Amino acid sequence: MSTLKVTDLHVSVTDEEEKTEREILKGVDLTINTGETHAIMGPNGTGKSTLSETIMGNPNYIVTQGDVTIDGESILGKPVDERARLGLFLAMQYPAEIKGITNAEFMRAAINSRRADDDQISIRSFLKELDKNIKTLNMTEEMTERYLNEGFSGGEKKRNEILQLMMIKPKFAILDEIDSGLDIDALQVVAQGVNEMASPDFGTLMITHYQRLLNYIHPDQVHVMMDGRIVKTGDASLAEELEEKGYAGLRDELGIDA
């Protein structure tokens, strides 16, 4: 078993115009073991993407206090590619388009960069695996030959993030609003892909705005984030409770100022 642990994490961003630092995360604690599925829900602008970008190592996010560890070892000093080699994967809320590298080339490079020199994936097994996963996700082969995310619709980008996830097989995946912009059919397909990943060697953190995704991917724990803090943790029923009360209702219940 592996453990991704976030302890008392405080993160600031720099306001370019005012040249000031603003604290976004105000002490986040979270422990995810392989084999577990966690969900973070919360209103817009509370720091969910900040948390995922910080865990993955985006240098725009300044850690002022606390730690992020994998199996007890801090990863905060490590660049993104090293974190990836340690088993982290982030499906970004807004995946970037990259010209000059095809989707398939990107995935093969991503897989091989995580493997030892004498253990590189053969083209044959790569293509076999790709073919299988494309079918699961109802994608076309043609999409893998296009430049990364270029000309993909919002929904295709989200599917493509899950294709990468299935090909790369990380230890921990953070899925940031993987459900946004998906119709119900696409949502089911994406959920099936994520569910196929389930194993004792894989842990997921799903970030979502809506309870809907959790009808298809069942979390062991649900965390609610508000204003840079996790204010409540519970089982899957917390998501339903939230759907009924709304974030405002929970705010009242917990006595948090709006």
Query: Which residues bind to Mg ion, rule: CB under 5 A?
Result: 44, 48-49, 93
Minimum Å distance from CB 115 to Mg ion? 31
CA pair distance 118, 135, nearest whole angstrom: 29
Minimum Å distance from CB 50 to ligand ADP? 3
Q: Where are the alpha helices (DSSP H) in the chain?
A: 48-56, 80-85, 103-113, 123-136, 141-144, 154-168, 184-197, 237-254
163 interacts with ligand ADP by CB under 6 A:
no
Q: Are strands 203-208 and 37-41 parallel, antiparallel or unpaired?
A: parallel
Using the rule CB under 6 A, which residue among 12, 37, 46, 164 binds ligand ADP? 46
Minimum Å distance from CB 104 to ligand ADP? 30
114 interacts with ligand ADP by CB under 6 A:
no
CB of 14 or CB of 125, closer to ligand ADP: 14
Q: Which does 208 bind (CB under 5 to 8 A by kind): Mg ion, ligand ADP, none?
A: none
Q: Which does 42 bind (CB under 5 to 8 A by kind): Mg ion, ligand ADP, none?
A: ligand ADP
Using the structure block, give the residue that is written with the tokens 């002490």.
27
Q: Do 36 and 221 contact (CB within 8 A), yes or no?
A: yes
Q: Using alpha carbons, list the distances in angstroms from residue 73 to 2, 3, 22, 66, 129.
A: 11, 10, 27, 13, 32
133 interacts with ligand ADP by CB under 6 A:
no
Range in contact with ligand ADP (rule: CB under 6 A) among 38-46, 115-123, 197-205, 243-251: 38-46
CA pair distance 15, 13, nearest whole angstrom: 6
8-state DSSP, 145: T
DSSP H/E element including 26? strand 20-33
Using the rule CB under 6 A, which residue among 12, 37, 49, 160 binds ligand ADP? 49
Minimum Å distance from CB 22 to ligand ADP? 7
- Which residues fall within 8 angstroms of residue 224, CB to CB, at 6 or more apart? 40, 41, 42, 230, 231, 232, 233, 238, 242, 247, 250
Minimum Å distance from CB 134 to ligand ADP? 29
170 interacts with ligand ADP by CB under 6 A:
no
24 interacts with ligand ADP by CB under 6 A:
yes
By CB under 6 A, the residues from 52 to 81 that bind ligand ADP are 60
Interacting residues toward ligand ADP by CB under 6 A: 13, 24, 42, 44-50, 60
